Amino acid sequence: ATSRLLVNYQEPYRSQILDYLFKPNFGASLHILKVEIGGDGQSTDGTEPSHMHYENDENYFRGYEWWLMKEAKKRNPKIKLIGLPWTFPAWIGKGENWPYDYPDVTAYYVVSWILGAKQYHDLDIDYIGIWNERAFSSKYIKLLRYTLDKHGLQQVRIVASDRLWEPISFVLLLDSELHGVVDVIGAHYPGTKTVPNALLTKKKLWSSEDYSTFNDEVGAGCWARILNQNYVNGNMTSTIAWNLVASYYEELPFGRCGLMTAQEPWSGHYKVEAPIWITAHTTQFTQPGWSYLRVDGQLEGGGSFVALTDGLGNLTIIIETMTHNHSQCIRPLLPHFSVTPQKATFYLKGSFRLLHTWQSFKRSCSAFTMRCNVWKGSFSLYLNVDEVYTLTTLKTGQKCGCPEPPPPQPFPSNYKDDFNIRNPPFSEAPNFADQTGVFEYFINSSDPGDHVFTLRQVVVQRPITWASDADQTISLIGNFQWVNMTVTCDVYIEKQRDGGVFIAGRVDNGGIYVRRTKGVFFWVFADGTYRVTGDLAGEEILMKGLSGVRDNAWHTLTLNIQGTSASGLLNGYPLWENVTVSKPSNGWAAIGTRSFEFAQFDNFHVEA
């Protein structure tokens, strides 16, 4: 859920960000886009909607991944697309928190996503994964291959198992049928190393999730080092960064762990971070289909180099001399090593002539500057520490730039959304970041007029989870630094008897930590009671009483938090006041429901 805020950028800024990511010979010029197959569950920084919330439901226009894949393909028709589920809707497991009890159902669900990508968006998915960082089932993988083939999707390749090198490598060596259907072994955060069994399978080896590091100069150093050393040390021919672009509220888990930062759609501000230009050192001078040459790759003074060719006379050499302290990734732990300034001599056989040298260095990993040299036969380079060089026969590299984006601005302190939009470009309202459950635009055709267009929570059973989703649903919005605020929202409980909804302020947590969220929560329930709690779980009760609220009727809730005191209004009249609140001292605004239940929200307004 890391591209959540990107979709809300206005033009021309949104297209500029997409150009930096995907446009060939412009910025990162990415070769691969790997997307989540939304499953209605928390996947690190939020939930992404499923194309099938319920068994009899199909909709290939939810969320923002379809849009993102199309924007990538529009800029680079050759980009490779990968889909991988983190979570699954509840009906897949028929009540169990497990996707493999009915493998035919899971295979049908995943293949329907691939078919929908083609039918509704003309997108060809190149690779499909199994279940992110969770167990795999050999029976399921074989059934997935069978289902793909049955639907004419022989060209879709299978990546397994997006976790560790083992046990998948060992199982592939034992099970020849499974060996025949898995095309790529994908491991996460391998620390540039592989294992003997993985090499014995003779499969393509990928670091299918890596990086995940704050995108400053050290993050850029981490990325430079692993882009080379994943091949040099681990024979991996693909390295995929989580995440593409930091387009989520920065205080959510792993803030700013993207190749660039675009987390302010309200201002238009974004930042092209150093990892974009480190990426360009590889991606602008190679393409999918190029081959790594089997060279030693270790430099005597520390650092590494790789050499790739297209087999048609082109050659690219990428050199990095990153020091330990300038290239630590978030994980795994990096053992100490030393790098010293050195003279490196390269010997070119045959007719290779390297024409261009691109260079980035420690003081600015985003330098990415070019000079013309002609290297042939043998040549020597003086390499300082914390530098990246690309030597290439290609003349196509560019360091492109757009006009400076607008300056940063905090989230608007007075923000309204009435959700009155007949044909929304996306299924979710701008800036709302769902953390459990899914909140979608809804047309309330039975309403006489005031509430035809609303926002509706639509997940009614706990999904097959990947993280610790809350037992309540919640969507965040605003500025984490907010202290004093008034939140107002019209609410409509659909679930009889034990249904309930809330509005909240000073909400302090989300993402994989959503279960431990604290704040000031104002709840009303279908049984005519209300509560004020200091947490999402509803365990820390600050006030409770009767409200007269009922289900299937609209009510207006207002929550006012000033300093250490909070008060609440129902339909404009005071319901409770002078409740003492101490922690947390600041946080987002939020809306949500008591359980996985249908409920609607309208005329949201926050003044902070």
Positive/negative CA dihedral, 218, 220, 225, 231: positive
At 181-214, the pLDDT tens digits run 999 999 999 999 999 999 999 999 999 999 999 9
556 assigned to some structural domain: yes
Last residue of a domain, one of 112, 132, 163: 163
- Name the average pLDDT for the chain: 96
Comparing CA positions, the residue from 154, 149, 77, 59 lying closest to residue 113 is 59
Percentage, residues of the chain above pLDDT 90: 92
Residue 364 confidence (pLDDT): 58
Q: Which residue has the higher pLDDT, 396 or 13?
A: 13
CATH assignment at residue 566 = 2.60.120.560
Q: Which residue has the higher pLDDT, 355 or 283?
A: 283
Please report which residue ranges of 516-591 form alpha helices under DSSP H. none
Check whether 144 has a pLDDT greater than 80.
yes
Q: What region, left, alpha or beta, does residue 226 occupy, with left being phi > 0 and alpha being psi -120 to 50 degrees?
A: alpha
Residue 348 confidence (pLDDT): 86
Q: Of 58, 133, 251, 607, which residue is the catalytic one?
A: 133
11 annotated active-site: no
Instruction: Report the DSSP pairing between strands 80-85 and 32-37.
Output: parallel
Task: Give me the mean pLDDT over the 491-513 stretch.
Answer: 98
297 assigned to some structural domain: no
Q: Which residues contact 250 (CB under 8 A, 6 or more apart)?
A: 256, 263, 480
CA dihedral 606, 7, 436, 105 (to 10 degrees): 160
- Tokens 């493998």 -> residue: 103
Instruction: Report the DSSP pairing between strands 184-188 and 204-211.
Output: parallel
At 577-595, the pLDDT tens digits run 999 999 999 999 999 999 9
Omega of the bond prior to 412 within 30 degrees of 0, cis? no
255 assigned to some structural domain: no
332 assigned to some structural domain: no
CA dihedral 329, 332, 338, 341 (to 10 degrees): -30
Residue 353 confidence (pLDDT): 78
Cβ(505)–Cβ(604) under 8 Å? no
Last residue of a domain, one of 163, 184, 217: 163
State the total domains in the chain: 2
Check whether 270 has a pLDDT greater than 80.
yes
Please state, in angstroms and rounded to a whole number, the distance separating the CA atoms of residues 332 and 599: 42
Check whether 367 has a pLDDT greater than 70.
no
Residue 401 confidence (pLDDT): 79
120 assigned to some structural domain: yes
Check whether 284 has a pLDDT greater than 70.
yes
Percentage, residues of the chain above pLDDT 70: 99
Task: Give me the mean pLDDT over the 38-57 stretch.
Answer: 98
Task: Give me the mean pLDDT over the 313-330 stretch.
Answer: 96
Q: How far is CA 275 from the centre of its chain?
A: 16
Q: Of 65, 71, 209, 597, which residue is the catalytic one?
A: 209
Please state, in angstroms and rounded to a whole number, the distance separating the CA atoms of residues 570 and 558: 7
257 assigned to some structural domain: no
What's the one-letter identity of residue 492?
A: Y
Please state, in angstroms and rounded to a whole number, the distance separating the CA atoms of residues 325 and 188: 22
577 annotated active-site: no
Residue 449 confidence (pLDDT): 83
What are the CA-CA distances from residue 43 to residues 173, 419, 458 (Å)?
A: 31, 26, 18
Instruction: Give 169's pLDDT tier (boundaries 50, 70, 90).
Output: very high
Cβ(497)–Cβ(522) under 8 Å? no
337 assigned to some structural domain: no
Task: Give me the mean pLDDT over the 10-15 stretch.
Answer: 98
558 assigned to some structural domain: yes
Task: Give me the mean pLDDT over the 33-38 stretch.
Answer: 98
At 224-267, the pLDDT tens digits run 999 999 999 999 999 999 999 999 999 999 999 999 999 999 99
Residue 373 confidence (pLDDT): 72
CATH assignment at residue 136 = 3.20.20.70
Residue 363 confidence (pLDDT): 53
Give the range among 7-11, 294-298, 308-312, 373-377 with minimum mean pLDDT. 373-377
Cβ(321)–Cβ(299) under 8 Å? yes
Q: Which residues contact 425 (CB under 8 A, 6 or more apart)?
A: 7
Residue 304 confidence (pLDDT): 98
Please state, in angstroms and rounded to a whole number, the distance separating the CA atoms of residues 295 and 308: 10
What are the CA-CA distances from residue 308 to residues 311, 333, 391 (Å)?
A: 9, 29, 11
Q: What range does the domain containing 599 cover?
A: 414-607
What are the CA-CA distances from residue 388 to residues 145, 274, 304, 471 (Å)?
A: 41, 12, 10, 48
Task: Give me the mean pLDDT over the 480-496 stretch.
Answer: 98
At 403-452, the pLDDT tens digits run 999 999 999 999 999 999 999 999 999 999 999 999 999 999 887 789 99
Check whether 479 has a pLDDT greater than 70.
yes
Task: Give me the mean pLDDT over the 370-382 stretch.
Answer: 79
Residue 17 confidence (pLDDT): 98
Please state, in angstroms and rounded to a whole number, the distance separating the CA atoms of residues 320 and 383: 9
Comparing CA positions, the residue from 123, 113, 124 lying closest to residue 36 is 113
Residue 362 confidence (pLDDT): 61
Instruction: Report the DSSP pairing between strands 364-375 and 354-361.
Output: antiparallel
Last residue of a domain, one of 163, 178, 194: 163
Check whether 555 has a pLDDT greater than 90.
yes
- The helix (run of H) or strand (run of E) holding residue 65 is helix 65-75
